[in-house]
């Protein structure tokens, strides 16, 4: 019996009270607020369940079981842990004294095979034209940032866009907790490692990013930029590693750029603010903004914007290429929304024809121009 099989069996046992939710593809999040209070998110809405663990000790045992198998530590001196389950679901745990109500576990469930752009179109997250436009931008090696708040589906969209990467390319994926599973055969997956109790053996995203540059990547995918690695990523985009994709927590396209700029200044390299801003403006081609709408719990792309550098006042110049249009609700309470072109063409509108990609143009024909 393999180690992975033993892990799956032990997780099945310890997490049995919430196993039905982890196997239900309509459930996107399982939130254990304490051993006897469990919520789920289904179709974007929160539901309180009747499920419960036998006791606080039973829930804590489940947390320690996960920690043991992923080789991470959680105790009073280190009360927070990020990990993943055998099926790829992402787990966040916090125990007392970090959480005064008891052990708290949040699980972002994993859908086998991930979601495709076609799935997101069927869910109403984006239109046929926008999906095809983004797919072509990936093929054209446009550096793309997916921006949005917590739970808006940034990682889901990142995984769907990565499917468009040509199979002949070597892809390096860097994540805090490994979630992405790409269909390309030539993929290397790098994952952050926490140091042991003596501070040894840790690997952060910045170290992994520096390592990835020596691995002859055609593409570098960063699950999320959170710190000084933003500077390394931006500089690598400017120096020959075009086509990178990443996500960032921000509420608007402008905020996403400002956040990348701020994170770049957190690196241990002393650069002026205007230099960080100029590099971000030059490196990023597109920002895809995601929103979760409270009216119906849906997650949708609200804007796709091209970055045109800086103006004479050193401010970001952002041009919306697609923008969502809301026009009411259905009788069932579902938002009526369309992600439609704004009428503006990207500065690279001729590139699909120049690169021989005209056969891939159909729904998004209005976004391109023959040279």
Which numeric CATH code is attached to 3-108? 3.30.450.90
What are 69-74's contacts with CB under 8 Å, separation 24+? 69/7, 69/10, 69/11, 72/194, 73/194, 73/196, 73/197
3-class DSSP state for residue 280?
A: helix
Mean pLDDT of 285-298: 91
The overall average pLDDT reported for the chain is 91
Residue 1 has pLDDT above 70, yes or no: no
Tokens of 227: 């710190």
Give bridge partners of residue 81 from the DSSP assignment: 93
Residue 141 has pLDDT above 90, yes or no: yes
pLDDT for residue 77 is more than 80? yes
Instruction: Give the start-to-end residue ranges of the domains of the chain.
Output: 3-108, 117-367
Look at residue 96 in the predicted model and tell me its pLDDT.
92
Answer whether 245's CB lies under 8 Å from 157's CB.
no
- What pLDDT score was predicted for residue 351? 97
CA distance to 76, 189, 202, 234, 268, per residue, from 192 (Å): 22, 10, 8, 20, 19
The least confident of 85-89, 149-153, 159-163, 251-255 is: 85-89
CA 146 to chain centre: 7
Of residues 119 and 268, the one with the higher pLDDT is: 119
CATH H-level, domain 117-367: superfamily: P-loop containing nucleotide triphosphate hydrolases (3.40.50.300)
Beta pairing partners, 45:
42
pLDDT, position 113: 61
**Residue 292 CA from chain centroid, whole number:** 14
* Global pTM exceeds 0.75: yes
Whether 271 shows a pLDDT value over 70: the answer reads yes
Q: Does the pLDDT of residue 330 top 90, yes or no? A: no
The token pair at 265 is 């200044």
The mean pLDDT value for 233-255 works out to 92
Residue 342 has pLDDT above 70, yes or no: yes
């Amino acid at each position: 019996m393999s180690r992975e099989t033993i892990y799956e069996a032990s997780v099945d046992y310890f997490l049995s009270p919430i196993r039905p939710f982890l196997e239900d593809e309509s459930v996107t999040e399982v939130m254990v607020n304490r051993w006897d209070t469990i919520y789920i998110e289904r179709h974007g809405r929160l539901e309180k369940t009747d499920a419960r663990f036998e006791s606080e000790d039973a829930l804590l045992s489940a947390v320690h079981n996960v920690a043991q198998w992923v080789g991470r530590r959680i105790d009073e001196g280190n009360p927070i842990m990020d990990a993943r389950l055998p099926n790829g679901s992402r787990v966040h745990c916090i125990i007392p004294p970090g959480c005064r109500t008891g052990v708290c576990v949040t699980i972002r469930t994993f859908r086998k095979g991930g979601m495709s752009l076609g799935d997101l179109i069927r869910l109403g997250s984006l239109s046929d034209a926008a999906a095809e436009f983004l797919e072509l931008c990936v093929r054209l090696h446009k550096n793309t940032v997916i921006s949005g708040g917590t739970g808006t589906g940034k990682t889901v969209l990142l995984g769907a866009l990565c499917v468009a990467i040509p199979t002949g390319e070597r892809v390096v994926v860097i994540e805090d907790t490994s979630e992405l599973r790409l269909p390309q055969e030539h993929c290397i997956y790098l994952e952050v490692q926490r140091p042991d109790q003596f501070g040894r053996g840790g690997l952060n995203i910045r170290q992994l990013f520096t390592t990835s540059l020596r691995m002859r990547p055609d593409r570098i995918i960063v699950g999320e930029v959170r710190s000084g690695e933003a500077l390394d990523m931006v500089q690598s985009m400017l120096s020959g590693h075009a086509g990178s994709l990443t996500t960032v927590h921000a509420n608007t396209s402008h905020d996403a750029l400002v956040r990348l700029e701020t994170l770049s200044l957190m690196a241990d390299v002393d650069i002026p603010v205007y230099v960080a801003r100029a590099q971000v403006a030059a490196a990023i081609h597109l920002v895809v903004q995601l929103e979760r709408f409270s009216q119906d719990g849906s997650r949708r792309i609200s804007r796709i914007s091209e970055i045109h550098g800086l103006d004479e006042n050193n401010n970001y110049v952002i041009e919306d290429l697609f923008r969502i249009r809301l026009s009411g609700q259905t009788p069932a309470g579902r938002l009526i929304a369309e992600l439609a072109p704004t009428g503006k063409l990207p500065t690279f509108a001729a590139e699909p024809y120049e690169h021989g990609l005209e056969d891939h143009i159909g729904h998004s024909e209005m976004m391109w121009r023959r040279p």
